[in-house]
Amino acid sequence: MFLRKAYKHSETKRQSLSQLSDEELIALLNDQTYNEIINEIFNRYSYILYGLCYKYLKNTEESKDAVQSIFEKIFTDLGNHSVRNLKSWLFVVAKNYCLMQIRKKQVETKELTAENSSYVLLKLYEEEIGQKNENDEMENHVSELLRCIDKLSSQQSICINLMYLDDKSYKEIADITGFSLNEVKSHIQNGKRNLRKLLIENDEE
């Protein structure tokens, strides 16, 4: 297998969990079963997510690394959210991760223009940090904001990306992610608050 397994468990448990549907798998999620279930999700979806990542990143090694990073984020976030449709949620997390990597590359290669979201990113930076961007600092501020968005939980990062970078409404975000409207509003509100904290902390360093 080209992707390493992140967690180990007995073959008996593996066979037992593999018989369950996604819904049944999530229903069993608790502190005792967490590692085993995450590992089963990895075995079930890693190749599919690799294909999705390759579609966006167009690079074999970067796509493999992306899958590992995505599952590390899933390991942290899955227990903190009620996932209704596992496959759809995984696809949204993976797409969000890949688009973030693409935007980072655009900044590094100075290709991030008003057409591909730099203007929106800068306005979001100004809104959260409370200061106007100088032209010679724009690239650094966009890079800083992307790094901070990447540090948010997957739910918050996804919702903020969809609203500010993809110009989606609350309802559209709910339809895409499977979150309720209240959850979308909460993720955006909490995400912006956490984003502001991260930006201020970085500014003070």
CATH topology of domain 87-205: Arc Repressor Mutant, subunit A (1.10.10)
In eight-state DSSP terms, residue 84 is: S
pLDDT of 104 reads 76
Question: What is the Cα–Cα distance from 137 to 115, expressed in whole angstroms?
Answer: 19
Nearest CA-CA partner of 99 in 147, 57, 70: 57
Question: What are 104-161's pLDDT values in tens digits?
Answer: 776 666 555 544 455 555 556 556 555 554 544 556 666 777 788 888 888 888 888 8
Domain positions in the chain: 1-80, 87-205
Question: What is the Cα–Cα distance from 94 to 62, expressed in whole angstroms?
Answer: 13
**Which one has a higher pLDDT value, 81 or 29?**
29
Residues 23-49, mean pLDDT to the nearest whole number: 86
Nearest CA-CA partner of 79 in 155, 16, 134, 135: 155
Question: What are 163-188's pLDDT values in tens digits?
Answer: 877 778 999 988 888 888 999 999 99
**Which one has a higher pLDDT value, 7 or 53?**
53
Q: Give the three-state DSSP class for 8.
A: coil
Average pLDDT of the chain is 77
